[in-house]
Chains A and B, each alone.
Chain A
Amino acid sequence: MNYYKVQKLKSHLFIACLYCSAAFVLAPLIMVIVFLFYKGASSLNLDFFMNLPKPVGETGGGMKHAIIGTFYMVGLGSLIAVPLGIVCGIFLAEYGKGKIPNCLRMASDLLTGVPSIVIGIFAYTLIVVPLKGFSALAGGVALSLIILPIVIRSTEEILKLIPGHIREAGLALGLPRWKVIYFIIVKGNLPNIFTGVILAISRAAGETAPLLFTAFGNMYLSYSLTGPMASLPVQIYNYAISPFEDWQRQAWAGAFVLIILVLGLNIVSRLIVNRKQLFNKK
């Protein structure tokens, strides 16, 4: 064999390796999803959505309270973080130079990197300690701290992409700057901004660690802002480490619902972007 043939062979081998590793990386994802379908979807039933848990060890019951709890707290977190995050993102994109914007940018970058469990501690010291009790409010605040930096960053990135001449055109028409910002720049890019928001919310919906000792858990349906509240991820965790087969079955069912929720939101946000790009191409 001559040199070239060896090199060719090497190259083919290498590319085969690349194929293999791609398959290897996708395997866990596919396995997780297959496992979820196999174990989770099969144990889903109407009871799961409509009922509260039964006493320990008895079969049946559902996670209605946890599903509602997750929506409640994610909603609460979004209510706090999304408007704040969007305004901060606009601020960074439009008035991005100077000391205060730089501080904000640093703070938000810092917050992105903070492990979610540490965010739980933040919310605990901020809300649970002064209120003397686990509460849905603390859970919501913890989730808002996860949503906030993602929204700030994505909003800033999106608005920065807008070419300067659009702003100038608005200003040249004699509009005040705030009107240019809100009615031309932001309004025209709302779908893109919401993509970031949806991504942030989907991330918060799957978080367990920050809720463990802020919202804690509850075996009943609760709407109280100041009382402990169940959430889907925490309920899955509690059921997963339990020895009862029926609870483990429900943990799988819960995980299935959770992943449909999270991946669904993800796909929706991607579709928004893709449609936008399609329109632009046309």
Chain B
Amino acid sequence: MKFINKQDQINFRLMQGLAIGVVVMMIIMILLLVKQSLPVIELSGLSFLTTDWWNPIEEEFGALSFVYGTLVTSFLALLLASPFSIAVAVFITEILPDKVKPIISMLVEMIAAVPSIVFGLWGLFFLAPFVQTTLTPFLKSTLGFLPIFQGPSFGIGILTASMILAIMIIPTITSICREVFKTVPNLQKEAALGLGATRFEMIKLAILKPSFSGIMGAMVLGLGRALGETMAVAMVIGNQPSINFSLFAPGSTMASVIANEYAEADNDIHLSALCLVGLLLFVVTLIVNVSARTIVWRFGSNER
């Protein structure tokens, strides 16, 4: 860049320096994380990902059960949250009168601002007993033939964790869906209504259908948030490093195992293993977030 003014040049160099500093710091942090993870990669190799035998005392590390726990809770949360989020987004953009809109949308966004520890507290003292005494007997009596609804229930476990996660990702999905719905041109809606469509048909044909890929993007971003959520999950999932197909069973996620064991890891190799779990989590969320952005971005450019 060329500068006529010396002061401008100094200002620019200063800013650029800080910017480079931030980027370099980011690279250093990732490299440190990789370096910390190396010992356990040498020790376990690929078996880190293919076994679920996690025994820090004997220095055997298999993280499969954490990967399983993270994926199951996140996808289940997405399954629970998506219909509601989309419905609420439609509700806010299409049904609510303009005056109430900001209030309701602010309330929904407030959910995103509630610290996850507060959700954890609520989950532990309200949701978990509810799941054990009310929801579990109900599910067992209606859907008990399915293997995922069998076995004893502590109240805390995969199902409870997924429910908390679902509540936490609803605002994320809702707000992006609303952005997407806003891009639908009014003409399109009016055309549908003008052709004699009911409101339901208008919403289905003129709003939801053209927004499909945008909605997908919103869901993937919601997934990204669910994957990394730590405290609320750690408090209600039960911290059992094993793979259970029952949703009532306790489990463990990548984030929850780091939260539980990092401060009290016994030895360096244990710490290294936890770092590798962290690295894995980092990479997974990275991939999910990048693909979400790609979907949303592609959707945006198609519209224009």
Contact = CB atoms under 8 A, between A and B. Distances in A.
Interface of A: 7-8, 10-11, 13-15, 17-19, 21-22, 24-26, 28-29, 31-32, 35-36, 84, 87-88, 90-92, 95, 100-101, 103-104, 107-111, 113-118, 120-122, 124-126, 148, 176-178, 181, 202-203, 205-209, 212-213, 216, 233, 236-237, 240-241, 248, 251-252, 255, 258-259, 262-263, 266, 270
25 contacts: A11-B198, A17-B87, A18-B87, A18-B88, A21-B91, A25-B88, A25-B174, A26-B107, A29-B108, A84-B22, A91-B15, A95-B1, A100-B19, A107-B26, A109-B289, A109-B293, A115-B229, A116-B228, A126-B29, A177-B5, A206-B118, A213-B263, A255-B117, A255-B121, A258-B117
A267 to B, nearest CB: 9
Interface in B3-45: 5, 7-8, 10-12, 14-16, 18-20, 22-23, 26, 28-29, 32-33, 36
Nearest to B221: A113
Contacts of B104: 22, 26
Contact of A258 (B10, B118, B124): B118
A127 to B, nearest CB: 11
Contact of A11 (B199, B278, B281): B199
Which of B92, B107, B121 counts the most chain A CB atoms within 10 A?
B121
Contact of A7 (B23, B114, B201): B201
A233 B117 contact: yes
Question: DSSP class of A's interface residues: helix, strand, loop or mixed?
Answer: helix
A28 B114 CA distance: 11
Interface in B275-293: 275, 278, 281-282, 285-286, 289, 293
Nearest to A199: B113
Interface in B69-123: 83-85, 87-88, 90-92, 95, 104, 106-108, 110-111, 113-122
B205 interface: no
B22 A10 contact: no
A117 B20 contact: no
Given A25-B85, A177-B8, 12 more contacts: A22-B88, A22-B92, A29-B107, A87-B18, A100-B20, A108-B22, A114-B228, A115-B227, A115-B281, A122-B32, A240-B120, A259-B114
Contacts of A124: 262
Contact of B114 (A104, A111, A209, A262): A262
Contact of A25 (B11, B122, B170, B281): B170
Contact of A19 (B26, B91, B274): B91
Nearest to A19: B91
A259 B116 CA distance: 10
Interface range, B side: 35 or more
Contacts of B206: none
Contacts of A205: 115
B19 A91 contact: yes
Nearest to A209: B230
B38 to A, nearest CB: 13
B201 A11 contact: yes
A101 B19 contact: yes
Given A25-B88, A117-B259, A176 B7 contact: yes
Interface string B236-280: 000000000000000000010011001100000000001100100
Contacts of B85: 25
Contacts of B281: 115, 117-118
A259 B118 contact: yes
Nearest to B257: A117
Nearest to B122: A32
B126 interface: yes
A118 B15 contact: no
B255 A95 contact: no
A255 B124 CA distance: 13
B184 interface: no
